[in-house]
Structure 1
Amino acid sequence: QYVNDDLTPRLRPGTREHLHAGNQQFLVGDFFGMWRAWDGIRALDYLLTRKEVDPQHVGVTGNSGGGTMTTWLCGVEPRWTMAAPSCFVTTFRRNLENELAADTEQCPPKVLAQQLDHDDFIAAMAPQPVILLAKERDYFDVRGTEEAYRRLKKLYRLLGQEENVSMFVGPTYHGYSQENREAMYQWFNRATKNSTVDKEPAIQIEEDKTLWCTPKGQVAGLTNTRTVFQFTAEKSRQLAVQRKPLTGEDLRKSVMELLRIPPRPAKPPHYRIWRYLPSGNYPTQYAIAYAIESEPRIQAITYRLTDERLYSRPPRSGEQATLYVSHLSSDAELRSEPMIAELIKQDPQRAFFTCDVRGVGESQPGTGSPGSFHQPYGSDYFYAIHSLMLDRPYLGQKTFDVLRVLQWLETLGHHDVHLVGKGWGALAATFAALISRTVKQVTLKNALRSYTEIAQAEHYTWPLSTFLPDVLSHFDLPDCYRDLKKKKLRQIEPWGADARMI
């Protein structure tokens, strides 16, 4: 999908392409797994046109990503008569608990909200013969495979076909190794009764070039072909023409719906007086940190800057306040972002707060490998993709954090808030400013120019955590920026799709 002039891949490792194309598709309401399943359906359409293919005996199998597609195809295509997914089927809970960041196509949007699991897709083809193939040392947890098998066994028993579901666990690591392949041969032969062969003969490994289906071994080298990205870009252009411009309350309602913003609790958020912060090259001499509980067990870490020592709850200091939503870290940006010092200097009497929403700065989780936060399969992606599976976009959760901090500021008497956001934080600030009546003024630095720009860029740097599913079917960021002009919006150095943001 992303190749150099000599058709070698531009993105490494190979599965990184899945994320790069798949994350982008969410903006236009598509799911990469759906596209790949459609490829499988069309491949079956072709196979069934061939005279040597018996439609009464059509099996599907694959390993890892192929095991993923086998699983989804069991759920959406009724013509299969047998299946053997390998090195994929476990449970979503095991993947989550084990902090396994799976490929985009392995994480269907809303799947957890609909209380579905891997075995539910397999169950859709019951009572046809199915064997779950797993590996003892696989990162796809075999305990989850066993759980899926037990549930399927119960279903097949109720259907009177208990013998039509089985499981095989090979002793080695992730891969379609010989023992798993032979388990598949035996299972398919049992189902078709066409052969009794259960061992794999000696195989001569062919050179890649011998197996090429295209002149140069890459579809991208053919004429009149299009990549997934090109389809995404085209759909974004179509949506731009089709969607009606939203303003005012209509835009506000659409934003809240797509972000999945829950009703604002009547009770102000609980907060802890976290710690006193001595001077650390901040624009003021002192600061104090508060942990604002935006929802149970979720804290948005908020700093109050001050030129006097403060160990207690924030003092009441008039109606006006500024809330700065950080890009990656309030602490780091208080030391390095000149805009903060300028804002404080412009109005030193205005109370000044900063906020790290969930997932960044002092709210950044330690999930995954150390230092993996910005990596393609790092902790930021891990939480973003699971949020989509739960139908609670990560960006919506971050926006809710800002709204709860604004509600907390109201309890301190601040009913006239200048909301400032930078980079990633500018997105949450944009949406919170549209929703909150407390926000009277908005400043955005390094805000994303538009989601359309990402959808139409082959290479982009914004992470999935900043995306909103199907947003381009409803509105784009310029709609929000236009609406915020009534709140004296000021934009500084907006970023494009490929901004260098780290």
Structure 2
Amino acid sequence: MRLKSPIAQPPMLIATISLLVVFLATVVTCAQEPDPQYAFLEFVRREAAEMRRADKPPATLTDWERHRTALKQRLQEAWGEFPAEPCPLRPKTMGTLARDGYRVEKIVFQTLPDVWMTANAYVPDRQEKVPAVLCVHGHWRGAKQDPVVQARCIGLAKLGFFVLSVDAFGAGERGLTKALGEYHGEMVAATLFPAGLSLCGLQVYENMRAVDYLLTRPEVDGRRIGITGCSGGGNQTMYAGAWDERFLAVVPVCSVGNYQAYLGAACCMCEVVPEALRFTEEWGVLAMTAPRALRVISATRDAVQFSVEEARKSLALTRPVFELYGLESSLDHAVFEASHDYNREMRESMYGWMTRFLKDSGDGSPIAEPDLQTEEPEALRCFPGDTRPDDFMTIPRFAAVQARRLVAQWRPPSSLEAWQPRRDAALQGLARCLFGGEPPRPAPSTQVVVTSDGEGRTITFAPEPGLTLVARQRHHAAPTTRLAIVLDLDGAEKAEQSQLATTLEHRGWSVITLDLRATGKLAYPRDRIGRAIDHNTAEWSLWIGRPLLGQWVIDVRRLLDALVEHDGRLPEEVLLAGIGPAGLVAIGTAALEPRISRVATSDTLASYVTDAPYEGQRLGTIVPGILRDAGDVNHLAALIAPRRLVIGGGVAGDGRPLDVAALDAGYAFTRQVYDVKDAAGELRVLTASKAAAIVEGLE
């Protein structure tokens, strides 16, 4: 049942209430120490609220058009650049099903070079040209083949619309394997980030190519095209509808909410727009649809990020933009007493909206759904069974092609003069990737508190306002001349118990371990999704444009500040060692932090380039644009020269240990830089990660 959506409150009143809520939340936070496992979530929420504190609707159409242009540019940067020229579609029909009043064509077409989109075209039995609707599926296991998705396609076709239903990249028939039912998020989609791409952006581009295909069909009236989808498909609908002005009617279902509501929730990587909260809230994207027609459909029992309440927050700032165009009636919010779904009542609401704006008929009221019968999913496949080509382009394979193109632009320097400008550019690019530019300005004090006992000392400090970290230095005896900070993203206890920490102590190093933010005892309790141990905290960090790797670099640098603040200086030698994925924290920190005199890694990722999903890695270390702006792991390692660097073994993206030949080839660029720095002996690349060999290499 559709519920009456209340009249939105004036935007200024909503903004005032929001500020009051943020203020009261801050008072409560200050009065009560948060649970350490939830401290990071509260930190991210405060950062986001501050970023969007001044949001307000535009006062004039000129103001909006100026804002829209800037917003479109920022979205393009966040998604990654689209090709300057589209490749040929080269469509192929793989089969046809004749049905009562329509037929289903099983088709494939090329969206990017060697990237094929699988699709079903539902073609009504009409002689005249008809409007078209692009149907995008969301996270139903069957993708375009799923009965929930089929229902709206058949309903639209029987009502006289040409329908194109497509499989998103990595879903349906386009997964890693040939079977249906794969999930394209977490460490599958993450392979795109280092090359400066995102699954969200690629979906927008591919849906634009789907429109290109629709325009080749003689049955389609190319002036009348709409788009609809639910859940993740609703997100695709919102973004493609905002971006591509060829869509005249846009109907996202069970997907519209508020970006800040994602902070605390788990969502698919296809819904993430890196840095989005730095430049907009969701209302800005919705408003880009104006002056075209937008109906948002919400369910009363949906998850918080798609809830009616969060959608109303966004629409309260979207509505004034439609009013500036004098088209208030082109925006509608339909609320249904339902769970997360695209049920019959919702479909009938969508039919009415499409009929009004694509057929110039009716007032947008629901249209009854014709009787329909869905197909067995296998019957709709373009590549039934295991007939899909073995070399079919998957997300990781595509990501690897783009990544290798970027890496190929790096040439080993022939001289120090040739290296220096490239080094400066890489350092600037690294800072931009990790911090969004300059790192956050540190507070005047780390608020360091040091307590000692018979086994060492505990160092408590604040890396940023609202966060507290605790480091443990065992067997501390002043003055310490050699300090080793040992990192493990599984936590301080694991780092302290590691063979590397024990061996360093036996060789006279004073060892410090700590839980970096959102790790160890500070880890969010419901963080893991699939292969990604730190999925949710890493994802929230991307929304605010602060990858976890950059935040962990800040934690280490602020630990050094705390030691200086308390002890007056740092020891003569400061070693930073990272175990597993923490090796990337060690390399990234040392590249930007000259106070680190020695660096060691153990079984660390040797390259961001992979044609398979990341295994055994942290999503927080997979940084958007790092290959484009700063380089691969070996290039980052070269920024440490001429300081001592020991690489203790290494792994590929899929988690496989690398042999001596692969390690030598992987770090050849790093070795060349050390050579031109006249420091060849300071780089040690070991084939194994044995602690004794690593520590020996540090001496």
**Do the two structures share a fold, i.e. TM-score over 0.5?**
yes
Q: Give the equivalent residue in structure 1 for 2:278.
A: 113
Deviations 1:359-382 (A, max 9, x none): 11133234xx3xxx3333977212
1:65 pairs with 2:232 = yes
1:442 pairs with 2:599 = yes
* C-alpha spacing 1:276/1:326, structure 2 compared with 1 (3 Å): farther
| Contact in 2 for aligned 1:317/1:351 (Cα 8 Å) | no
Cα distance in 2 between the residues matched to 1:263 and 1:112: 16
Cα distance in 2 between the residues matched to 1:155 and 1:265: 39
Q: Give the equivalent residue in structure 2 for 1:361.
A: 520
TM-fit CA distance, 1:343: 0.6
Q: Give the equivalent residue in structure 2 for 1:8.
A: 179
3-state SS of the aligned residue for 1:113? helix
| Contact in 2 for aligned 1:101/1:378 (Cα 8 Å) | no
| Contact in 1 for aligned 2:581/2:618 (Cα 8 Å) | no
| Contact in 2 for aligned 1:101/1:377 (Cα 8 Å) | no
TM-fit CA distance, 1:496: 2.7
TM-fit CA distance, 1:500: 8.2
| Contact in 1 for aligned 2:443/2:464 (Cα 8 Å) | no
Which among 331, 334, 338 is matched to residue 172 of structure 1? 338
TM-fit CA distance, 1:135: 0.8
Which among 330, 340, 344 is matched to residue 501 of structure 2? 340
1:467 pairs with 2:656 = no
| Contact in 2 for aligned 1:61/1:84 (Cα 8 Å) | yes
* C-alpha spacing 1:244/1:292, structure 2 compared with 1 (3 Å): farther
Letter matched to residue 322 of structure 1: A
Q: Give the equivalent residue in structure 1 for 2:448.
A: 271
1:403 pairs with 2:557 = yes
* C-alpha spacing 1:4/1:37, structure 2 compared with 1 (3 Å): closer
| Contact in 2 for aligned 1:94/1:141 (Cα 8 Å) | no
Deviations 1:237-269 (A, max 9, x none): 111112355665554333323212516648442
Deviations 1:298-341 (A, max 9, x none): 2232102127xxxxxxx742443222222311113323x11111
| Contact in 2 for aligned 1:185/1:198 (Cα 8 Å) | yes
Cα distance in 2 between the residues matched to 1:56 and 1:235: 34
Cα distance in 1 between the residues matched to 2:293 and 2:424: 53
Which among 526, 529, 554 is matched to residue 375 of structure 1? 529
* C-alpha spacing 1:446/1:264, structure 2 compared with 1 (3 Å): farther
1:296 pairs with 2:465 = yes
Residues 49-88 of structure 1: pairs in structure 2 closer than 5 A:
49-88=216-255
* C-alpha spacing 1:59/1:257, structure 2 compared with 1 (3 Å): closer
Deviations 1:101-126 (A, max 9, x none): 21112111121111x23332221121
Q: Give the equivalent residue in structure 2 for 1:477.
A: 633
Cα distance in 1 between the residues matched to 2:481 and 2:446: 19
| Contact in 1 for aligned 2:349/2:366 (Cα 8 Å) | no
* C-alpha spacing 1:303/1:477, structure 2 compared with 1 (3 Å): same
Q: Give the equivalent residue in structure 2 for 1:424.
A: 581
Letter matched to residue 137 of structure 1: R
Cα distance in 1 between the residues matched to 2:329 and 2:556: 55
Letter matched to residue 113 of structure 1: R
Letter matched to residue 646 of structure 2: R
Q: Give the equivalent residue in structure 2 for 1:281.
A: none
Cα distance in 2 between the residues matched to 1:460 and 1:26: 15
Cα distance in 2 between the residues matched to 1:409 and 1:197: 67
* C-alpha spacing 1:320/1:146, structure 2 compared with 1 (3 Å): same
Q: Give the equivalent residue in structure 1 for 2:19.
A: none
TM-fit CA distance, 1:389: 2.3
Which among 471, 477, 491 is matched to residue 329 of structure 1? 491
Which among 296, 314, 319 is matched to residue 148 of structure 1? 314
Give the TM-score normalised by structure 1.
Answer: 0.85
Identity %: 24
Deviations 1:366-425 (A, max 9, x none): 4xx3xxx33339772122122222221110010111011112223323242122221222
Cα distance in 2 between the residues matched to 1:64 and 1:136: 14
Which among 156, 160, 163 is matched to residue 329 of structure 2? 163
3-state SS of the aligned residue for 1:359? coil
* C-alpha spacing 1:442/1:463, structure 2 compared with 1 (3 Å): closer
Q: Give the equivalent residue in structure 2 for 1:100.
A: 265
Kindly tell me the number of residue pairs found equivalent between the two proteins.
466
Q: Give the equivalent residue in structure 2 for 1:123.
A: 287
3-state SS of the aligned residue for 1:221? coil
Which among 384, 396, 402 is matched to residue 229 of structure 1? 396
Q: Give the equivalent residue in structure 1 for 2:427.
A: 252
TM-fit CA distance, 1:467: 1.1
Residues 385-396 of structure 1: pairs in structure 2 closer than 5 A:
385-396=539-550
Cα distance in 2 between the residues matched to 1:239 and 1:50: 37
3-state SS of the aligned residue for 2:277? coil
Which among 175, 197, 211 is matched to residue 44 of structure 1? 211
Gaps of 5+ in 1: 278-284, 308-314
Gaps of 5+ in 2: 1-169, 413-418, 658-699
Cα distance in 2 between the residues matched to 1:81 and 1:3: 31
* C-alpha spacing 1:318/1:65, structure 2 compared with 1 (3 Å): closer
Letter matched to residue 432 of structure 2: E
Deviations 1:69-96 (A, max 9, x none): 1100122101111111101011111222
* C-alpha spacing 1:188/1:483, structure 2 compared with 1 (3 Å): closer
TM-fit CA distance, 1:438: 1.8
TM-fit CA distance, 1:427: 1.3
Cα distance in 1 between the residues matched to 2:585 and 2:552: 6
TM-fit CA distance, 1:355: 2.1
Letter matched to residue 360 of structure 2: K
Cα distance in 2 between the residues matched to 1:404 and 1:359: 16
Q: Which moved more, 1:42-51 or 1:248-257?
A: 248-257
3-state SS of the aligned residue for 1:489? strand
Q: Give the equivalent residue in structure 1 for 2:678.
A: none
| Contact in 2 for aligned 1:299/1:363 (Cα 8 Å) | no
TM-fit CA distance, 1:497: 1.9
| Contact in 1 for aligned 2:495/2:513 (Cα 8 Å) | no
Cα distance in 2 between the residues matched to 1:110 and 1:66: 21
Cα distance in 2 between the residues matched to 1:180 and 1:197: 9
Cα distance in 2 between the residues matched to 1:88 and 1:293: 37
Cα distance in 1 between the residues matched to 2:236 and 2:490: 36
- What's the Cα RMSD here? 2.7
Letter matched to residue 210 of structure 1: A
3-state SS of the aligned residue for 1:446? strand
Letter matched to residue 223 of structure 2: Q
Q: Which moved more, 1:73-82 or 1:17-26?
A: 17-26
| Contact in 2 for aligned 1:418/1:442 (Cα 8 Å) | yes
3-state SS of the aligned residue for 2:534? helix
Q: Give the equivalent residue in structure 2 for 1:384.
A: 538
